[in-house]
Amino acid sequence: MKKLKELLISLLILGVGAGGFVALKASRPRPTTVQVQERAWLVSVQTVHPRPVSPVLLLYGRVESPHLTTLRAALTADVLNVHVREGQWVSRGEILVELDQREAALGLAQREAELAELEAELENELRRYENDQRNLENERTLLELTRREVNRYRNLAARQLDTESRLETARLALEKQQMALAERELAIRSHDSRRGALQARLQRARALRDLAALDLDRTQVRAAFDGRIVDVQVSPGDRVRPGDALTSQFDASALEVRAQIPTRYLDQLRPPSGAGSNGAEYMRPLAATLHVRTRRIEATLQRLSAEVAPGRAGADAFFSLPPRSAQLLELGRTVELQLELPAVQDAVTLPSEALYGSDRIYRLIDDRLDAVTVQRLGEWRTPEGEPRLVVRSDRLASEDRVLITQLPSAVDGLKVRTP
């Protein structure tokens, strides 16, 4: 009886608990439905109007000179005087280095003596030839007389009116005269070859004499052009040999800047297709500017390199500089160039914040972003001097609104709003 009572009490407690749970669940408050609204990012935009724009390409280049000359010794000699120092300005023909002239002067004297000796030999040959020509007829006359004398003695000997010894003497005289005539004729025939050989030797001697005179003149090393001394590599007392470097200078009128132009801009430097039928007009005449010590220097694009070196992203361009720029620039100096490119049609100018990546901008269509791939054409500056990017795309039209705010989450279709 007692166990039954405990069981009933337990069941009653469970029933009360279950009823309370059901009552609490039935009486709980209903949750309110929250409606999520899409966020609109506050951005700035620029209304664009495609138009012709002349982009400016910012380049960094190095000052060079195609006329960088190293003056070298042409002979073996001692350095006597050095008249210049590194960085000094010199004029064309100015003496830079003097070498000892004594050895060169002795060499010139020797060559002049050899030349005089050969001139005397040639003069003797000409006189000998004239003498041979004069005596040739005499030799022939003597030969004829000697031959008659032999015939006379032969007739006398045949009639036993004279001795045989006198006939032999006459024959011997005839043979000697024949040999003398032959030698005279040979001397006359070989005159041209002997004279030619002497004239060749004489010409060689004159060349050696002139070379020795040139060596003597080269003991005074002179400036090749108006310019500036880059370095000096000798001092008085040094012994130099042919080919040894003495000093270097560059031509002040031939300074240029070498700058690399990215490949994507190279087509803008060339004239339109068909502009130069003979292929000579392969490059537009474009102007560039650089600023040095508050001075503005105008440069002109002269040529492009013939190849793009491996590992490089463009071709080298060479800009000529006016002669006065040599007063402001040093060889090897790095300078900043602003190259004005030809006008581009249907281009727009935007602040750098409008560009995402290297070739993407966003325009607004119904307050949502629309990605547009553009072609970068260079830079441009406002009248106030503010930099702008020059881009172009066939998808951009007049009155389009372009995003000019950098959004880290910018994607196609993102909702935005403007102030």
> Residue 290, SS3?
strand
Among 115-119, 180-184, 248-252, 376-380, which stretch is predicted with the lowest mean pLDDT?
A: 180-184
Q: In this structure, which amino acid lies at residue 14?
A: L
Q: Tokens for 269, please give them.
A: 């430097």
Arithmetic mean of pLDDT, 365-386? 87
Do 233 and 91 share a domain, yes or no? yes
**Is the separation of the CB atoms in 387 and 352 below 8 Å?**
yes
Does one domain contain both 89 and 232?
yes
Can you tell me the mean pLDDT for 54-76?
Answer: 91
My answer on whether 118 and 209 are in the same domain is: yes
Same domain for 87 and 227, yes or no, is yes
Give dist(CA 300, CA 314) in Å, integer. 19
Which has more pLDDT, 191 or 226?
226
What pLDDT is attached to residue 34? 52
Whether residue 166 is found in the same domain as residue 154? yes
**Spatial distance between the Cα atoms of 146 and 237, rounded to a whole number of angstroms:** 76
- What would the mean pLDDT of 345-357 be, rounded to a whole number? 91
Asked if residue 309 is part of any domain, the answer here is no
Per the CB < 8 A criterion, the answer to whether 115 and 122 are in contact is: no
Q: Which pLDDT belongs to residue 222?
A: 94
**Is the pLDDT confidence value at 362 over 90?**
yes
The rounded percent of the chain whose pLDDT value lies above 90 is 37
pLDDT of residue 25: 64
Per-residue pLDDT, 274: 46
280 confidence band (pLDDT: 50, 70, 90): very low
Percentage with pLDDT > 70 across the chain: 84
**pLDDT score for 141:** 73
More confident residue, 132 or 282: 132
Structure tokens at 115: 């030349």
Q: Which two tokens stand for residue 179?
A: 């040999």
12-52 confidence digits (pLDDT tens): 677 666 666 666 666 666 655 555 577 888 889 999 999 99
User: Which of 2-11, 27-36, 226-235, 303-312 has the weakest average pLDDT?
Assistant: 27-36
232-258 average pLDDT score: 93
pLDDT higher than 80, residue 268: no
49 and 190 share a domain?
Answer: no
For residues 127 and 194, membership in a common domain is answered with yes
Whether 94 and 239 map to the same domain: the answer is: yes
Q: What is the pLDDT of residue 356?
A: 92
Residues 74 and 127 in one domain: no
Domain stop point among 192, 216, 240: 216
Q: What is the mean pLDDT of residues 334-363?
A: 90
Q: Is residue 265 part of a domain?
A: no
pLDDT (0 to 100) of residue 21: 62
Q: Which residues are within 8 A (CB) of 247 and not within 5 positions of it... i.e. 6 or more apart?
A: 70, 71, 82, 84, 96, 97, 221, 229, 230, 231, 232, 233, 234
Instruction: Check pLDDT > 60 for residue 162.
Output: no
Model confidence pLDDT, tens digit, residues 289-333: 888 878 888 898 988 888 887 877 788 999 999 888 888 888 889
Which residues are registered as beta bridge partners of 130?
A: none
* Block residue for tokens 């072609």: 375
Same domain? 212 vs 109 = yes
Q: Is residue 6's pLDDT more than 70? A: no
How many independent structural domains does the chain possess?
Answer: 3
**How many helices (H) and strands (E) are present in the chain, helices listed first?**
4, 24
Q: Are residues 132 and 226 in the same domain?
A: no
343 vs 113: which has the higher pLDDT: 113
Between residues 272 and 332, the one the model is more confident about: 332
Q: Is pLDDT above 70 for 1?
A: no
Q: Which of 78-87, 171-180, 336-345 has the lowest mean pLDDT?
A: 171-180
Tell me, yes or no, whether 9 lies in a domain: no
Residue type present at position 262: P
The two tokens of residue 128 are 């000998």
Write the CATH number for 226. 2.40.50.100
Tens digit of each residue's pLDDT (9 = 90 or more) over 199-223: 898 999 999 999 999 999 999 999 9
CA distance linking residue 87 with residue 229, whole number of Å: 5
Domain that includes residue 372, residue range? 45-55+343-417
In a domain, 233, yes or no: yes
Q: Which of 216, 235, 264 is the last residue of a domain?
A: 216
**30 part of a folded domain:** no
Q: What is the pLDDT of residues 95-106, one digit of tens each?
A: 999 999 999 999
Query: Quick check: is 82 in a domain?
Result: yes
Q: Which of 216, 237, 262 is the last residue of a domain?
A: 216
Q: Taking the chain, what is the end-to-end CA distance rounded to the nearest angstrom?
A: 85
Length of the chain measured in residues: 419
| Cα dihedral across residues 289, 290, 291, 292: positive or negative | negative
DSSP 122-162: HHHHHHHHHHHHHHHHHHHHHHHHHHHHHHHHHHHHHTTSS
Residue 340 near residue 286, CB atoms below 8 Å? yes
Quick one: 141 and 95 in the same domain?
A: no
Residue 348 to residue 288: CA distance in whole angstroms: 22
pLDDT band for 56, please (50, 70, 90 cuts). confident
Which residue's structure tokens are 């166990």?
Answer: 3
- Predicted pLDDT of residue 105: 93
